[in-house]
Amino acid sequence: MTYRWLPLSLLLLLPGVSGCEMLRSPSPVATAEMVLMEAQRTNEAIERGVAARGLAVREALADEDLQELDEWWRARDIYDPHKHLLPPMLAQLSLTPEEEQGPIWDVWLSLEEDKPELYHFRSLYDVRIFFLFQESLPEAVQDAYRSMLQPPRIVQWGQGGTENHLWQQYISGLAMMDGSGFPVANPHFLATHEAWLRAELTKYLTIGQGEFHSSTYYGFSIGALLNLYDFAQTPERRQLARAVLDWFSTQMALRLSWGTAGGAESRGFDRQTWGSGLTALAWIWWGEDDPQEIGRIVGQMGRQGHRLAILAATSGYRPPAQLRSLAQKTIPLPFQLRASHPSYYSYHQDNQFWETFYVTPDYSLGTLQVPGRNYQVEGTINAQYATYKLVVRDPQGRENAVVSLGGTYHSPLATGQSPGDRYLQEKGASLYQLRLTPEDEAAGVPGRSHLVIPKGYGEPHRIGPWYVWEIEGVWLCAWAWGDEIRLEMPLEEAEEHLALVAQGGHMAWVTEVLASSEYETLAEVEAALAQTRVHDENLQASGQLIYTSVEGDRLELIADARLRVGIRRINGVEQSLTDNPVLESPYVNQPLWSGRLTVDDPQLGSWELQLKPGQPRWSDPD
């Protein structure tokens, strides 16, 4: 096969946000011309990197054999084959001369004939294929696309589902109706889909998102918005897409931890390095430029990552320039984020979940406090929240270590949670408790919690009651309470992991993460832990656990089952459950109900997105 760049390369070189508009003069003597030249060089380097990473992803996907994939899904009667076949089709079309594309379109037509349904995971890719290659579509393919906007098929663009399903279906459909030039039999869909888009943007900029920072689903939602951003003919709709994309990319950059989706997340638990859907897109925008590193990361990313990365690789959207150093974590560290999130789907139930995220040069630690007790085990449920995630940076950049801590009602690997899990975090120190109630026991909640660690880090050192692991550049220290404390190595349910297990009707943990750059030897760790203070005398009677950390912060967690989250105090201050900001940190802020998101970069200055009123407005005119 002969590869060549298509006119697609023109799209790739159209950044969505001009970095030079956001640069400010580095010194009083710098001239405007010097700043402009430096900005242009920076933008050109960024575009070369995006193009190189995008080409590597497209070439990797193009290696898939469409005929084999077609035979594979038919033998199994896969109900959603498009999500497996359309991404390699997109890649092959982007690398194949027009006169040689016939066999690819033959597979597309065969798939269209046998699986004509329009559904979310199809819409995402099919709309992008249409727009990128609409000038060279075979007549039969063009007719099939035209029929998608006529009865009876057009009503399928209004199908429901989870949040990412709605993004894919509604917004890809809106792009098709707005930009295709085909007659739209039901033009009210243009209005209803745009209204939903506006409502979601308003929700995100006022109370936040239900499916927040999902390593599993962010790529799908973003891919649909890229369709609207790249292909909409109505400027206002393109602006709406840009605004939501800027909000999404800010969430990603804020918590991105060297190739892993760090911190708490909804509907996902990323243990990989550049392997999840979220990080695959992030890599296209902010990844390495070195050719050897590009090849290595594409090789370890896997097909799911490739299938989402190609969406960013074939798009003209670029995140705000201020997010680059935040995503790459080249800003001054450490910093801590406090955040809150609404309940799933809600437009009014704000402040339902409370997040803490702390990142240093060596690790990030995130916890999520989920109120109340929920025993639902099917559908969009609390089990799909990552409530404790420690990401330890691999100095070689190959495979970060990911550690989790939680109950086991929804997952034996503590990637979910148990009803009644309670957390409290300040910087690298955290408390956890699970105190079973009669309702928990009646629902079958196990009296068991796990600290789950990659098996390769071996058995811990023992320092009195502390279990201490040396993991890359940190010491992970854990103290557990329960009727029984034991080490399972390997963990039966996942042989690549070990677990420290606490079992009983009332379990509690203290974890502390220390940088080995500050505490070089185990003896120094022991001396540091000797300075901490634990008060557990009221633990069994009232669920009170108090810990004074290595840094001197006093954490108090009372697991009172009568309260939604117990009682949580840091340095004597009870943690508020009302009016918590959507985002609060030194670099990114969004006050609750404000309609305003700000990003501050030490080098590039401030960037702001806000609603004024009903329409997004930026501090940088586009």
Per-residue H/E/C for 374-431: CCCCCCCCHHHEECEEEEECCCCCCCCEEEEEEECCCCCCCCCCCCCCEEEEECCEEE
The Cα–Cα gap between 451 and 501 comes to 7
Q: How does pLDDT run across 255-299, given as a tens digit for each residue? A: 999 999 999 999 999 999 999 999 999 999 999 999 999 999 999
Reply yes or no on whether the pLDDT at 353 is more than 80.
yes
φ, ψ of residue 308 to 5 degrees: the values are -95, -35
Cα torsion for 157, 162, 165, 170, to the nearest 10°? 40
Q: How does pLDDT run across 105-153, given as a tens digit for each residue? A: 999 999 999 999 999 999 999 999 999 999 999 999 999 999 999 999 9
Percentage of the chain with pLDDT > 90? 83
pLDDT category at 480 given cuts 50, 70, 90 is very high
Q: How much is the pTM? A: 0.93
φ, ψ of residue 355 to 5 degrees: the values are -120, 140
**What single letter denotes the amino acid at residue 509?**
W
Reply yes or no on whether the pLDDT at 104 is more than 50.
yes
Q: How does pLDDT run across 166-204, given as a tens digit for each residue? A: 999 999 999 999 999 999 999 999 999 999 999 999 999
Q: Considering the chain, what is the average pLDDT of its residues?
A: 92
Query: Does residue 465 have a cis bond before it (omega within 30 degrees)?
Result: no
